Structure 1
Amino acid sequence: MFGDALRRMAGAATYLYQDGPHYWYSTQPTVTKLAEDRAEQFKREPDKVAAEVERRLRKDLLTTGDFHRIHPMPQTGSDVPDDLDARLVVLGMAHPYSKEAGNPAELAAKAILENRGNSPRLYRNTLVF
């Protein structure tokens, strides 16, 4: 009975710490509580989270590695040139991938592969997603 109560309190209390069978209070909030508070803050500000992810992704993609042509988060197929150079296309958070057919990432990649603006794409095999 007391063990269950202590376990529940340790999971919910902000300043109650546990290390094996030992419990104590501290003036510092637990890491779990800090993480939960930060997660709640992110839920209230999804636009800021998306903007920060995009900023970090764009910064990371400045180092090209094996691809000298990288296109981060294109909005349409016209944002990706249609020529003979190999290009890496990185889709944004608006196009998440999942195993199900017809997922947003697959649909966006297909749209970019098929067309560049209003005209059909000629060099489809030069794009990597």
Structure 2
Amino acid sequence: MTTAVIRPMIGQDSQFFWAGTAAGELRIQRCNACAALRFPPGPACPDCGALDRGYVVAAGTGTVFSYVVHRHPPVPGKELPIVIALIDLDEGVRMVGEVVDVADDEIEIGMRLRVDFNRIDDELTLPIWRKQ
């Protein structure tokens, strides 16, 4: 039985991010007024309050800050266990992501990761992380 993946909510604040994943880019919101980086994206800069938003393309590398191995309950479209990490990107923001091709007993804090992209269909490409 094939089950569809859970699809993210794509709105005005995050559309640039999902357009980036479709293009093979990991995009981080950047305030055009003060240059602060922000993830997750939002409508106003948390540093200066400006509404003038842009983005930068991240290098796509980072370090595991923390992680969890999800074993239960089942997740639509996923095979268990799922390794989920909190990743400190080299640009200085933190992002949650699925780590693939790393055994649940191999993942560790401080492990270097690089982003990759999993094309689900014409409308959705998800960022995934692999050992660097």
TM over 0.5: no
TM-score, normalised on structure 2?
Answer: 0.21
Task: Determine which structure has the larger strand proportion and give its number.
Answer: 2
User: Which of structures 1 and 2 has the bigger CA Rg?
Assistant: 1
Task: Determine which structure has the larger helix proportion and give its number.
Answer: 1
* RCO higher in structure (CA 8 A, sep ≥6): 2
